[in-house]
Amino acid sequence: MYQRDQLIELLRSEALQLGDFTLASGAKASYYLDCRNLTLHPKGANLIAQGMLELIQSRGELPAAVGGMAIGADPITASIVTIAGQQDLPLKGFMVRKEPKGHGTGKQVEGPVKPGDKVVIVEDVITSGGSAIKAVEAARKFGLEVDTVIAIIDRLAGGEEAFAAVGIELVTLTTIKDFGL
């Protein structure tokens, strides 16, 4: 069972850094959330996977798969798929490369998914939504049906509006308000 308070505590102790930072979007910030410290942490990975799996299940029909932009979404995807497997749920994982491979099959979307599958994109931190939107676009180009992004934390910096503009619902486990920032 998902324990939101424990996730917030781990985010605070393992991922939140205060100072002067430049974000991927180019924006300046007084804090940084390094969620890799959490998605690659044994307790953090489990809390995130349990929380996201509960959100996915609460939305009705289980999608065929979860995945997102490599490298950030990979540990989240793996954790969710592992927990789903332990619960005997047929939820698969996939990954989206930043660009198609230049060799082999040349795919940008990798994993046991096929055009027409309904999928959920997972992400760690949402700021402007740029990375997750690129994952959505690549998944849709491959033929996957995407209408939801689930993230660990929303910085409340315009991401939700950016997703709405492309017909995607954003659902998060936490927001920056949970930290009083």
What CATH number has the domain bearing residue 102? 3.40.50.2020
Q: Where are the beta strands (DSSP E) in 23-117?
A: 28-33, 65-69, 92-96, 109-110
Specify the pLDDT at position 82.
98
Specify the pLDDT at position 104.
65
Q: Is 154 annotated as a binding residue?
A: no
Asked if the structure places residue 27 within a domain, the reply is no
What is the rounded CA–CA span in Å between residue 149 and residue 66?
A: 10
* Residue closest to 33 by CA, chosen among 120, 116, 123: 123
Q: Is 130 annotated as a binding residue?
A: yes
Asked if the structure places residue 22 within a domain, the reply is no
Asked if the structure places residue 120 within a domain, the reply is yes
Q: Is 111 annotated as a binding residue?
A: no
Asked if the structure places residue 33 within a domain, the reply is no
Q: Is 143 annotated as a binding residue?
A: no
Domain that holds residue 85: 48-179
Q: Is 25 annotated as a binding residue?
A: no
Asked if the structure places residue 119 within a domain, the reply is yes
CA gyration radius, the chain: 16
The parts of the chain modelled with pLDDT lower than 70 are 101-106
Specify the pLDDT at position 102.
67
Q: Which pTM was predicted?
A: 0.94
| Number of independent structural domains in the chain | 1
Specify the pLDDT at position 105.
66
Q: Is 101 annotated as a binding residue?
A: yes
Q: For residue 170, which phi and psi values (nearest 5 degrees)? A: -100, 130
Asked if the structure places residue 5 within a domain, the reply is no
Q: Is 128 annotated as a binding residue?
A: yes
Asked if the structure places residue 97 within a domain, the reply is yes
Asked if the structure places residue 93 within a domain, the reply is yes
Q: Is 126 annotated as a binding residue?
A: yes
What is the rounded CA–CA span in Å between residue 169 and residue 162?
A: 10
Q: Is 36 annotated as a binding residue?
A: no
Q: Is 171 annotated as a binding residue?
A: no
